[in-house]
Structure 1
């Protein structure tokens, strides 16, 4: 006489039914957990790429390299149809790159190299804002320390109370930290 698989389970008694029930429940729980696990190309902080660049240096070469890096990054994300949020936070010597003021008598005074390259750097930096959607932010502590008014800062630059605090806040929100060396 041949029994169906279900009939064999019932014929085997309650302990086999209990074991099979636990196995089925475990399998369902595992499947549910795995369905929540990121698959394939999933990213740690979601599908949006979030990056913060830290600019506290005086070198026009480093700023130029950073602008090129950001342009290449955002162009890649655009080509991949991937959302992104790229921020550049300027503080300390970085203020030199978001104003046309010479800031004579301050530690951040424009030197001959910056004056020679300022127009090109300004154009490229503001191009990142208008063409790539990059957001520029400036430490207001630095601005106040050198005596600049908000009107003396490029219009596209948003003030933040503290540059270093802003970088930490963005990292807490899942932004990846980059600084060009």
Structure 2
């Protein structure tokens, strides 16, 4: 019985490693960070998470790709002249070429409709059709998911 258990454990461990449980050598780590709250504390925590992860893997000599996805009230994080973390985003974008910011197009359209005019985003933001769909796609591509 012990031999069967040991063989099963070895097979499960091997399958786990082959199916993405362990990063393939040379492949970058991938992280999706989700922001859906208009709360400067949450926004700063998300940016702290990104900075800490990037620093960790840089010290290890490993690559990491980070995408922060903002939707709902969290989209205020990327609204020009309104974001409470605009200076940090600008600074981090200059320092980290592995960090990108996705802005939910659905939320943006709702904000424009409610405001009755255009709602300009920061230059660092890239509009995606849907923030939730973007998070799903990133997870399907093997990104780890964090919600601060």
TM-score interval (norm. to shorter): 0.7 to 0.9
Distance 1:78 1:149, change over 3 A: farther
Cα shift readout 1:96-148 (whole Å, capped 9, x = no counterpart): 1111355xxxxxxxxxxx7xxx2xx1111222222122000000010011116
- Is the counterpart of residue 79 in structure 1 residue 59 in structure 2? yes
Question: TM-score, with normalisation over the residues of structure 1?
Answer: 0.63
Gapped runs of 5+ residues in structure 2?
Answer: 1-13
Distance 1:38 1:172, change over 3 A: closer
CA-based RMSD of the aligned residues comes to 2.5
Residue equivalent to 2:22: 44
Instruction: Supply the distance in 2 between the matched residues of 1:158 and 1:45 (Cα, whole angstroms).
Output: 27
After TM superposition, the runs of 4+ consecutive aligned structure 1 residues lying more than 2 A away are 42-47
1:131-170 equivalent positions in 2, closer than 5 A: 131-133=95-97, 134-147=99-112, 149=118, 152-170=120-138
Instruction: Supply the distance in 1 between the matched residues of 2:93 and 2:81 (Cα, whole angstroms).
Output: 21
Q: CA deviation at 1:75?
A: 1.1
- Is the counterpart of residue 174 in structure 1 residue 142 in structure 2? yes
Question: TM-score, with normalisation over the residues of structure 2?
Answer: 0.76
Aligned length: 127
1:84-99 equivalent positions in 2, closer than 5 A: 84-99=64-79
Instruction: Supply the distance in 1 between the matched residues of 2:43 and 2:134 (Cα, whole angstroms).
Output: 19
Gapped runs of 5+ residues in structure 1?
Answer: 1-33, 103-113
Q: CA deviation at 1:72?
A: 1.2
Instruction: Supply the distance in 2 between the matched residues of 1:173 and 1:45 (Cα, whole angstroms).
Output: 13
Cα shift readout 1:76-112 (whole Å, capped 9, x = no counterpart): 111111111100000001111111355xxxxxxxxxx
Q: CA deviation at 1:64?
A: 1.0
- Is the counterpart of residue 126 in structure 1 residue 124 in structure 2? no
Instruction: Supply the distance in 1 between the matched residues of 2:118 and 2:143 (Cα, whole angstroms).
Output: 29
Give yes or no for contact 2:69–2:101 (8 Å, CA) kept in 1.
yes
